[in-house]
């Protein structure tokens, strides 16, 4: 286990601007988004637009990840992704979502999710998750991945590798006619092999013209989440695995979620569309 000291909040930079020519999601400037009332199954034209949004989100994350190194701030990673999305005509979906102040989430070490980019400096041995969502053409594409910063200890590297594998296995389990809880069943059974915790209160979700449609995709085996998987459904799978407990604390900023035992956690995510035979990943660079 890494001997890194625990994280503390840094300083926020001013809110980044988005060119007026770029369309905003409807929730920007509001306390909360308008609840989604449309279908979970999308038409071919919407799916094609989601391919574009997903590709831009994946490319923005990839570009930001190139800058991960000891001494770099998470705010700098946010700047890179923000400028990439704006340069490609996309709005950073997290910026202004329920008041979130930045254009990506940067979650280091014990942060499960929703870390706010700030003056925090990456250290040798950190693991850092970047979560990037792009809005363009009236739809969202959402992805994240966990990266190694410098020389990372074996326990953390294995956690990252296995969390990526958990996502891959879950994607392969998606088939029309199955229930949505097959996803969590596959992830949890794999994670249990290594004694990892599987975060329960933060889940995958339906996504389309809505950032979060209301469809819940749990990453643990939940008999209550038995929605039938159908061709054309679009949603994210984003397992969060921990070295210890899946219980968590919330920082005073109302966003940053950290493991209660402060042990490390990793996450990977893709946006998918269900096909006639399985699932297509929409967030490929």
Long-range pairs for 170-174: beta carbons < 8 A, 24 or more residues apart: 170/219, 170/237, 170/239, 171/237, 171/270, 171/272, 171/279, 171/281, 172/278, 174/229, 174/237, 174/272, 174/274, 174/278, 174/279
In the chain, DSSP finds a helix count (H) and a strand count (E) of 4, 15
**pLDDT at residue 27 is higher than 50:** yes
Query: What are the tens digits of pLDDT across the range 150-200?
Result: 999 999 999 999 999 999 999 999 999 999 999 999 999 999 999 999 999
Say what the pLDDT of residue 105 is: 98
Q: Which residue has the tokens 């990840």?
A: 65
What phi, psi does 74 have (nearest 5°)? -65, -25
* R_g (Cα) of the chain, nearest Å: 18
Query: What are the tens digits of pLDDT across the range 76-105?
Result: 999 999 999 999 999 999 999 999 999 999
Rounded CA-CA distance 40/57 in Å is: 21
Residues 6+ apart with CB under 8 A from 133: 57, 92, 93, 94, 140, 141, 142, 143, 211
Report the predicted TM-score, pTM, of the whole model to 2 decimal places.
0.97
Say what the pLDDT of residue 4 is: 76
Annotate 138-176 with b (16+ C-beta within 10 A) or e (fewer).
ebbbbbbbbbbbeebbeebeebbebbbebbeebbebbeb
**With contact defined as beta carbons under 8 Å apart, do 203 and 219 qualify?**
yes
Consecutive H or E run containing 34: none
Query: What are the tens digits of pLDDT across the range 109-130?
Result: 999 999 999 999 999 999 999 9
**pLDDT at residue 24 is higher than 70:** yes
Say what the pLDDT of residue 3 is: 63
């Amino acid at each position: 286990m890494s001997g890194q000291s625990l994280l503390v909040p840094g300083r926020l930079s001013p809110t980044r601007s988005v060119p007026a020519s770029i369309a905003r999601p409807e929730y920007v400037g509001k306390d909360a988004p308008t609840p989604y009332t449309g279908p979970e199954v999308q038409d071919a034209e919407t799916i094609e637009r989601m391919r574009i949004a997903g590709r831009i989100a994946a490319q923005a994350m990839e570009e930001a990840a190139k800058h991960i190194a000891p001494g770099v701030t998470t705010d700098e990673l946010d700047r890179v992704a923000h400028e990439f999305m704006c340069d490609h005509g996309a709005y950073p979906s997290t910026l202004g979502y329920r008041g979130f102040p930045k254009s990506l989430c940067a979650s280091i070490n014990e942060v499960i999710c929703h870390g706010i980019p700030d003056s925090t400096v990456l250290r040798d041995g950190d693991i850092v998750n970047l979560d990037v969502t792009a809005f363009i053409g009236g739809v969202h594409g959402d992805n994240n991945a966990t990266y190694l910063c410098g020389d990372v200890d074996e326990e953390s590297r294995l956690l990252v590798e296995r969390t990526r594998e958990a996502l891959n296995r879950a994607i392969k389990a998606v088939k029309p006619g199955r229930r949505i809880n097959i996803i969590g069943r596959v992830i949890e059974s794999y994670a249990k092999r290594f004694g990892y915790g599987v975060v329960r209160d933060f889940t995958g979700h339906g996504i389309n013209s809505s950032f979060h449609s209301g469809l819940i995709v749990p990453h643990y085996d939940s008999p209550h989440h038995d929605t039938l998987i159908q061709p054309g459904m679009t949603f994210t799978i984003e397992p969060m695995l921990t070295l210890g407990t899946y219980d968590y604390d919330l920082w005073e900023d109302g966003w940053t979620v950290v493991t209660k035992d402060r042990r490390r956690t990793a996450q990977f995510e893709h946006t998918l569309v269900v096909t006639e035979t399985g699932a297509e990943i929409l967030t490929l660079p």
